[in-house]
Structure 1
């Protein structure tokens, strides 16, 4: 349930070089969309930026949840993708799952003064700050950085992909989009409840939109 990695997916945009334009879901960005990304500072569109996490539930099936309301900035120059800088904050209390009972469990305090099973009610925010970006293809990059959560900071690498860019048809804001994938160990952030029957490995899928400032 490491929300942090969410932010990283956004930088995939950098990997796209100058190819930007709005795309149908699942469609790859094309060279015809060279609606050049403007160098400068971008901010997340919190309403359309998500981090989905997945853990193994007793080895039977994956269980999913997500975080939203992600805020942060991306500084990028399409002519120098590897100089991109990302700083993203994810509020842990934005946790969403299909079961309200499970949500309450994940955010409740520990019983009789003990540590919470998962996040607890005062978990605060998770924050990811990039340290380097390595271009891996025309539309892809690896974003390395530090994820801070629950009082711990660990290195995280995200495989990011540029998914599209252009003017938002509703707001007209210049927007760029990315997806990303990463894996973290929840025990490294002090969340060890029900190990190993609930997996230590947490798979993260990130979908992020940035608007030019």
Structure 2
């Protein structure tokens, strides 16, 4: 994958390539290890403005029931009322409200993150990891992003001492520019 030298080349509307995108998280567990997981069902889009990155925007909708940690019992517990409450709050969403360019390849995307019906502002640090034309001739762009949140801010307070309050959200994004 090659990184473009001109941000203006990125301008356009994009959709997430769900087959090559990972929306994940890491949380401390039992105070001795970390649990890693991801969401398998999501969709998202973005408008990138390479000439004025502050005019860029993105949105992401995750199906909360699609959480996977490679442990069925834990996944069922995470879907329950004490964590994600997927029966009553089936989606997690992020809608950007601002983008700030830090340097040539790094950006801060601020937006409204809604979990369990609670919306809080979050800033995600993103790095442009590359661009390429795929074998079908479609232009692709890649980003890696990360943000740390406190799950209690969204009403997830179960597991005192067993599960870390801090959760790191991870985004490995591949997006395809639309014609």
User: Unaligned stretches of 5+ in structure 1?
Assistant: 1-21, 24-28, 109-115
Superposed, 1:171-182 pairs within 5 Å as 171-182=136-147
Structure having the higher strand fraction is: 2
- Corresponding residue for residue 123 of structure 2: 157
- Corresponding residue for residue 204 of structure 1: 169
Bigger relative CO (Cα 8 Å, ≥ 6 apart): 1
1:121-144, Cα deviation, whole Å (9 max, x unpaired): 413111111111111111001111
TM-score (structure 2 length as normaliser): 0.91
- Corresponding residue for residue 194 of structure 1: 159
Aligned residue for 1:200, secondary structure, equals strand
Counterparts of 2:113 and 2:129, CA distance in 1:
23
TM-score (structure 1 length as normaliser): 0.77
Number of equivalenced pairs: 177
Question: Is the contact made by 1:49 and 1:68 (CA closer than 8 Å) also made in structure 2?
Answer: no
1:9-42, Cα deviation, whole Å (9 max, x unpaired): xxxxxxxxxxxxx25xxxxx364xx596342211
Q: 2:105 aligns with which of 139, 160, 179?
A: 139
Q: 1:64 aligns with which of 26, 33, 36?
A: 36
Q: Does 1:117 find its partner at 2:89?
A: no
- Corresponding residue for residue 127 of structure 1: 93
Counterparts of 2:27 and 2:33, CA distance in 1:
8
Q: Does 1:106 find its partner at 2:78?
A: yes
Q: CA RMSD, aligned part only?
A: 1.8
Change (3 A) 1:201 1:172: same
Question: Is the contact made by 1:49 and 1:69 (CA closer than 8 Å) also made in structure 2?
Answer: no
Q: Shift of residue 69 of structure 1? A: 2.8
Question: Is the contact made by 1:74 and 1:87 (CA closer than 8 Å) also made in structure 2?
Answer: yes
